[in-house]
Structure 1
């Protein structure tokens, strides 16, 4: 068991944790969630190396506890000559070679005792790692992720998504007591994401996974740890059940708030009357009655329930157009091809109209980002751009559009804002307030950098948006705010995304990369294709019904019709059990 008890930690410019406690127990697969910049990665760093940090509170981890770790920022070493099998089995192979070397040494040595001790120590370590079965175990993991075909491929030839999965397998096969993964899903295409889901669900040890991916959250975890506003909340159960409990709490709190507001208003009127009487009649008893009522009013205000996990503030994302274009073609791609070491796309043709919202879908490494960048740069003979359009670009490589050495204020001055006050006012809508506006961009989390990119895209007032993995690193609340902004946007969007929910909730249709070309697919057919591959046949209908009931509940809450909301909650609970 891992136990964190009454933990306090802060940076000079920001308090991160205030008296937080949680436990991780055997066989728990825990999703670690929270808004961008809330301190999830820092807490992982503290768990990994507590000696580096000056924190208050207790951190109970057995000194023999073996921790496996997969970073969100792992980089593929293109100089590596080892094969996938050799990379995954590196520790096993090293130990196997060591045992062979000791055996060879024992054949010729006259002092065999220390070698026997060394030999036994190596054998014990090999057994602890499941050494006799390591080749079979590697094959099983590769097969589970549908990557057995890569067994003899050089690591340097893998795509970024394939390499991330290989890292996950390598750590899992070392049999850690606690396996920590920090956003392992970022940039994975849907096939690789599904492979990651299988790896997570078949892992036998304790898992702590930072993720904002709603597909993984809904299908992989039996415990939720939610970090928000320096506080933490534990929930034993699935993410879908956690959200259901938050919705129940939200209804209860809103009902209490309405009742208390009515009570407070009633006492406000009584206090006003007493004050009016006291100005005419100065009897002491009148004054005491007034003070008593005021104290009661203060107690009412003080006991208002604060719920930092129920209504979390979303950034106010809004894409506004300066120059709306009538229905016309804004981007035309005709016989476009791209190749690096090999041909990626060949003779691709499509066109985007002025209000189309389109997702480009395809496996990692198929040329999607190159295509989007070529459209933005408008320097390719096969691409025609309407003269009346203004484009804005969000890059999955955040350093391409953000200057790390800039402060947040300087970044927006460079983008054309006139004064620091103007910048402060604008970026406060995106959650950047206080001292953070003077920080260097390099100090921000991955999610905060992407929110900053969204703020820059919004400020451009462009009528065509090119978005390359815009939901990567974003917390679920910001993802939902982005979906709403996309829905309200009056211009054209061309978006690369592997996030199923963002695609189906915001796009008109998809462009599927298949066999080095692109074909158009309706949203209905795309949904059916995904659900047929990864879910049972009733799942799509059940999820659509769930979403419809949730929308009805939101409307009931707006009308303060709490009784009807509770009836709908009962209906929602039945649907959740089907998912």
Structure 2
């Protein structure tokens, strides 16, 4: 159990966390939410000890471990699978000790503990996690130095998931993931057997994983039961109730004050007036819950163009002299299109957007577009194009030097920059504010097509909702790449799948795409298993394949016998282990004969190891039999 009592933290004289208390029970999955800058990451750093509180106390169970994703991405020549396996410190330590231990009792303890923590299945579990996060079997064996920063952070995430701490802290875990990996992570976390505290602005993730919500607002932490949708509903109800009570009290105060004002100077009523005046003084004011100011902005409407505004006919695109990344592109875009691009990272989604934006020329085929067509491209690194020393106004004027200050303010106002925010330096803006400013710059030309590559990476929940509403009102076309399922579902009415070197329409919704991914992963695992077992050579022709299956069926009697024998061996070893455990549980065994006790422990360790081997052999025999008789 994690208990936070009267926690206080100040930064630069400002109280960021003010006398906050919360208790999180074992096994609860908790979403920590709040606007950017509210102190969510600071709260995590206080929990992990990276920061020290100015007051209060944080306590966890004596045997509980806490873990979070490493702040720095791993590097070096170590293979990905080995980095993830090394994250389980206990397993790595026990395996190292087992190589040198000589004391039979200690050897028994080591192997018993290794069995308890499932060490025999660790490699398969690590490989499953890496595969879910987008690393195929070949990639898992490559050194971490081969990968870019975003992929390295995926490995860091895989490592902490594999370590499986009792309290898992995750700060925006989907930021470095594509939609496919984010969907896998959602399912993995939903079934995580221990406590999770999750910072995220991904609405779908906060609805599928947490059963509690912690809302950090004005330095206070309030706990709500249920997921994010339930939190929103509960908070709205609380705000409405508080507003009604405050209005009722205000009317009551007004009535009493009128009585006092009318009769306080009349001798016959002076005592009653004085009594009511004291009543007013004793009346504790009820404050209406202040809902945080909603963020709104509006995208400019482009000039109407006749359809189609862009078409591709057998186009291809790539980099340099290398083979094309995408080919056979036959696509059409109209002004009312809302399209989301699906496909794993590396398949070419960003390449397609760069081609549409005119930053990459098509090699073959023909791309036709209206002469008046303007395109706005929000790249993943779009915020890097902002000048830190500029204010929001000077950033706009740098693109429109002939505009007046008033014209710049009017444009910024449409993107939620009002009053002093328009004069705030870029370096002092939050991530969400920078994203809106970048979007304001992109929309100066009133684009007919908006190309958005992960536009929500720096947006908090309210800013994301504002973006959804703005895109809903926008009169141009939108082509979107996002790992946020809520944004895709809310904004897109068409899906294009970028895979196998091309881009085609996907006939289905996001749930159907998720089912397709699960099916593909099952088929990939089955194919890998077949390849490892050597039961099917991909180069075989159909005749050889039929012969192989016929031979396998002919050998099924032998496989069935082997599976039966393996099962009997497992049962025999389990019975022997039960007998040894029964003797070890007998107090009479702990007499003066130490040698006998050591021998029993050594026998238990040997039997446990033999049982693991027997279980593996049994599973392999059962799988071989299943394949042969399928």
Distance, in Å, in 1 between the alignment partners of 2:108 and 2:498 is: 54
Which of these residues, 485, 488, 498, is aligned with residue 503 of structure 1? 488
Contact 2:377 2:442 in 1 (8 A): yes
Q: Which runs of 5+ in 2 are unaligned?
A: 519-630
Distance, in Å, in 1 between the alignment partners of 2:73 and 2:404 is: 38
Which of these residues, 305, 327, 351, is aligned with residue 288 of structure 2? 305
Distance, in Å, in 2 between the alignment partners of 1:312 and 1:378 is: 40
Q: By how many angstroms is 1:184 displaced?
A: 0.6
| 1:48 counterpart residue number | 48
Deviation per CA, 1:66-98: give whole Å up to 9, x if none. 332126x76575xx4433322211356964785
Q: By how many angstroms is 1:484 displaced?
A: 1.0
Contact 1:395 1:401 in 2 (8 A): no
Give the number of aligned pairs: 508
Query: 1:466/1:138 Cα in 2 relative to 1: closer, same or farther (>3 Å)?
Result: closer
| 2:224 counterpart residue number | 235
Query: 1:179/1:270 Cα in 2 relative to 1: closer, same or farther (>3 Å)?
Result: closer
Query: 1:383/1:449 Cα in 2 relative to 1: closer, same or farther (>3 Å)?
Result: farther
Q: By how many angstroms is 1:485 displaced?
A: 0.8
Tell me the secondary structure at the aligned position of residue 246 of structure 1.
helix
Contact 1:32 1:224 in 2 (8 A): yes
Matches within 5 A, 1:442-521: 446-457=431-442, 461-521=446-506
Contact 2:8 2:17 in 1 (8 A): yes
Query: 1:326/1:205 Cα in 2 relative to 1: closer, same or farther (>3 Å)?
Result: same
Contact 2:151 2:176 in 1 (8 A): no
The structure that has the greater radius of gyration is 2
Distance, in Å, in 2 between the alignment partners of 1:225 and 1:147 is: 33
1:324 aligns with 2:303: yes
Compute the RMSD of aligned alpha carbons.
4.6
1:388 aligns with 2:372: yes
Query: 1:3/1:75 Cα in 2 relative to 1: closer, same or farther (>3 Å)?
Result: same
TM-score of the aligned structures, taking structure 2 as reference length: 0.67
Q: By how many angstroms is 1:41 displaced?
A: 1.4
Query: 1:222/1:427 Cα in 2 relative to 1: closer, same or farther (>3 Å)?
Result: same
Tell me the secondary structure at the aligned position of residue 513 of structure 1.
strand
Contact 1:212 1:473 in 2 (8 A): no
Distance, in Å, in 2 between the alignment partners of 1:428 and 1:285 is: 61
Tell me the secondary structure at the aligned position of residue 175 of structure 2.
coil
Contact 2:207 2:227 in 1 (8 A): yes
Matches within 5 A, 1:397-436: 397-404=381-388, 406=390, 411-416=395-400, 419=405, 426=412, 430=416
Q: By how many angstroms is 1:293 displaced?
A: 7.6
Q: Which runs of 5+ in 1 are unaligned?
A: 107-112, 536-579
Q: By how many angstroms is 1:8 displaced?
A: 2.5
Contact 1:333 1:350 in 2 (8 A): yes
Contact 2:34 2:40 in 1 (8 A): yes
| 2:578 counterpart residue number | none
| 1:3 counterpart residue number | 3
1:348 aligns with 2:329: yes
Distance, in Å, in 2 between the alignment partners of 1:216 and 1:28 is: 15
Distance, in Å, in 1 between the alignment partners of 2:399 and 2:109 is: 61
Which of these residues, 350, 357, 366, is aligned with residue 376 of structure 1? 357
| 1:69 counterpart residue number | 68
Contact 2:415 2:436 in 1 (8 A): no
Q: By how many angstroms is 1:344 displaced?
A: 3.0
Query: 1:488/1:332 Cα in 2 relative to 1: closer, same or farther (>3 Å)?
Result: same
| 2:33 counterpart residue number | 33
Matches within 5 A, 1:221-260: 221-253=210-242, 255-256=244-245
Distance, in Å, in 2 between the alignment partners of 1:468 and 1:521 is: 19
Deviation per CA, 1:26-63: give whole Å up to 9, x if none. 2122111112222211221222225x445232233468
Q: By how many angstroms is 1:169 displaced?
A: 2.9
| 1:213 counterpart residue number | 202
| 2:512 counterpart residue number | 529
1:135 aligns with 2:135: no
| 1:360 counterpart residue number | 341
Contact 1:424 1:437 in 2 (8 A): no
Q: By how many angstroms is 1:258 displaced?
A: 6.1
Q: By how many angstroms is 1:486 displaced?
A: 0.8
Query: 1:257/1:463 Cα in 2 relative to 1: closer, same or farther (>3 Å)?
Result: farther
TM-score of the aligned structures, taking structure 1 as reference length: 0.72
Contact 1:394 1:401 in 2 (8 A): no
